[in-house]
Amino acid sequence: MGKALDAEQFAAYARRQIHAALDILDRHHTDVLGLCACGRPQPCSVVATCHHAIAHYQAKLAVVGATQPLRLVARRPVAAPAAVPRLGSAWT
């Protein structure tokens, strides 16, 4: 099992996956007979898989791009609450 990627590494990986899928789509276009250039009937399963991969990684990039590191907020010490008399002890 590999190590986890940070945000920049994952963004680069996702962009490479999108470009690879687009390169594959360049070779799978509709020919004159209405078939895919690879000879499969339309819709070609390779085209569907590439479109799915592109949508998947574009959605992941949108999430990575939307997240921002939050600044660290130091906690202030909280004062102890004042002693509140109990109902039973206040009446006796």
| Distance, CA of 43 to CA of 32 (rounded, Å) | 15
- Cα 13 from Cα 4, distance rounded (Å): 12
Beta bridge partners of 36: 30
Residue range 8-36, pLDDT digits in tens: 899 999 999 999 999 999 999 888 888 99
The answer to whether the pTM exceeds 0.75 is no
**Partners of 48 in the beta sheet?**
none
CA dihedral 29, 36, 42, 17 (to 10 degrees): -50
pLDDT tens profile 43-68 = 889 999 999 999 999 999 998 877 76
Query: Which residues sit opposite 47 in a β-bridge?
Result: none
Pull the structure tokens for residue 70. 């939050």
